[in-house]
Every structure is written in C-alpha cells, then in structure tokens.
C-alpha cells in the first residue's frame, strides 16, 4: 500500500493502514525541559571531546616535527582540552542530578529505576519488541522507556566511575582541593597504573554507548514516528491519546 492510497501511519509500531476518515489523534507533549536538553547536549559535546582527547593521551600520535619537543605544545592542548571538558562534564552532571529531584515526571530520578511492576513489564516488552522482534509494540512511554531509563542509570554510574578515576589521576598533578580529595583512590586501585587502566577501559564503554544510543534514537524516531530525535532539541513529542504512561 502506498501513501497515495490514503493510508495514515500511526505513532505506535509498524505502519497500520487506517481509513482516512478516522485519523489518529495526536497530542503534543512537552517532555524534555530546557535543563534536560541543555544537559544532554553539553554532556554529548564534553563526552565526545573527552573520548577523542583521552584516546590521544593513551595513544599519542607519533609524528616527526622539524622543531624541538619543547617548542611545540600540541599534546599540552590535548590534555588541556581533556581537563576543561572534564570539569564541564562533571558540573553539568551534578546539575542533572539536581534536576532529577525538581524536574518534571519525565526527568525525575524514578524514571531511571524500574521499581514499579509496570516498568518491569515494559522492560520485558521492549526487549521482545525491539531486540527479539517477537512482539509488536504495545503502548509506548512518553518519556524514557523503562529499559532506556535503566541503561541511562548504568551510564550515570559509569560517569561517576570515570569522574572518580579521572580526578584520582589528576590528583598527582594538581594541588587544588577538588582533585586532592581523590588521592586515596590511587593506592586503592593498585597504583597509578591500575587507575589509568580502568580509566582507559571505560573509554570503550562510552564509545559503545554513543554508537548504540544514536542508532536507537533514530530507530525509535522511525518506528514510532512521533518526533523522538527532535524532542531532544525542542522538548516536544507527539503522543497518541491513549498511549501516555
């Protein structure tokens, strides 16, 4: 069936042909408030910078230069960008934690823990529909679906881990009170090598997360047809009257 047949696609699951005289009702819902969107994009930019510069710190480019090492500063810039991005990323994350207590219901910390029976059921449903493809989509959450929320929670834990190990590494190069608070982490993790190893390993967690996350954002945008991608820019999603949760 083509669009010229008058088929109307609905917001849930596959394209379901509907008679044109019975259009599906959508309403516009303000889901992601400005602080959530600002957090999202500041975090995305900081994280990409941290991944690139962190990778370069761990595997510096071996290049031949006409000038002496002390006459150039490119590696200094790489480290400088890593440290600036690190501070932006940490304080931005603290802002998001605060918003988890005062923001709207879609931003609340409860959206990240599947404590309710309905959330646990949704995790099973999303795995069946999106991963195993053994079930059609049922009603779809307006905010994060319960599985996405839980994955974000694990990501937030990884944010904390990377912050702790990052500041532990930084503590040997700074006298500032903030990094100095993490000095004790270094012996706890078996010395600087141990901290560096774990800090480096988690780079690959973030690289994997970003690739899968961007793929899923576009996948859900296409499958659900209710403006998932644009919602994280403008804040609004479109929802079928009966699918709000």
Mark 206-245 with x for binding to ligand HEM (rule: CB under 6 A) and - for no binding: x---x--xx--x----------xx-xx-------------
The nearest distance, CB 171 to ligand HEM, in angstroms, is 8
Burial class (CB in 10 A: 0-12, 13-18, 19+), 237: buried
Query: In this structure, is the dihedral angle defined by the CA atoms of residues 15, 20, 22 and 23, taken in order, positive or negative?
Result: positive
Which of 10, 11, 12, 82 binds ligand HEM (CB under 6 A)? It is 82
The nearest distance, CB 24 to ligand HEM, in angstroms, is 21
Closest CA to 152 of 101, 195, 91, 216: 216
Residue 180 touching ligand HEM (CB under 6 A): no
In terms of CB distance, is 12 or 155 closer to ligand HEM? Answer: 155
Which of 10, 12, 90, 125 binds ligand HEM (CB under 6 A)? It is 90
In terms of CB distance, is 86 or 129 closer to ligand HEM? Answer: 86
Residue 155 touching ligand HEM (CB under 6 A): yes
Rounded to a whole number of angstroms, the CA Rg of the chain reads 22
Listed in sequence order, the DSSP H helices in the chain are 34-58, 74-102, 117-126, 146-170, 177-180, 185-188, 192-224, 228-234
Mark 182-201 with x for binding to ligand HEM (rule: CB under 6 A) and - for no binding: --------------x--xx-
User: Using an 8 Å Cβ cutoff, are 5 and 76 in contact?
Assistant: no
Q: What is the rounded end-to-end Cα distance, in angstroms, of the chain? A: 31
Closest CA to 143 of 117, 112, 98, 172: 112
Binding-site size for ligand HEM (CB under 6 A) equals: 44
Under the rule (CB under 6 A), what is the footprint of ligand HEM? 36, 39-40, 43-44, 47-48, 50-51, 54-55, 57-58, 79, 82-83, 86, 89-90, 96, 143-144, 148, 152, 155, 162-163, 166-167, 169-170, 196, 199-200, 203, 206, 210, 213-214, 217, 228-229, 231-232
């Amino acid at each position: 069936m083509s669009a010229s047949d008058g088929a109307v696609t609905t917001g849930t699951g596959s394209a379901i042909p509907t008679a044109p005289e019975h259009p599906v009702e959508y309403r516009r819902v303000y889901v992601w408030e400005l602080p959530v969107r600002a957090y999202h994009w500041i975090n995305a930019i900081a994280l990409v910078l941290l991944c690139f510069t962190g990778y370069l710190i761990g595997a510096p480019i071996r290049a031949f230069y006409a000038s002496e090492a002390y006459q150039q500063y490119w590696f200094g810039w790489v480290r400088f960008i890593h440290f600036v991005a690190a501070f932006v990323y940490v304080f931005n994350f603290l802002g998001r934690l605060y918003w988890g207590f005062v923001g709207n219901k879609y931003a609340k910390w409860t959206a990240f823990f599947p404590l309710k029976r309905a959330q646990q059921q949704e995790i099973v449903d999303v795995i069946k529909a999106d991963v195993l493809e053994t079930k059609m989509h049922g009603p779809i959450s307006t905010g994060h679906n319960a599985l996405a929320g839980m994955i974000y929670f694990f990501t937030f834990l990884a944010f904390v881990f990377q912050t702790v190990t990052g500041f532990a590494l930084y503590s040997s190069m700074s006298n500032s009170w903030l990094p100095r608070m993490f000095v004790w982490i270094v012996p706890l993790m078996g010395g600087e090598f141990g901290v560096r190893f774990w800090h480096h390993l988690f780079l690959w967690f973030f690289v994997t997360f970003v690739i899968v996350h961007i793929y899923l954002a576009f996948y859900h945008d296409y499958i659900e047809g209710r403006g998932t991608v644009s919602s994280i820019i403008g804040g609004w999603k479109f929802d079928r009257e009966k699918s709000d949760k």
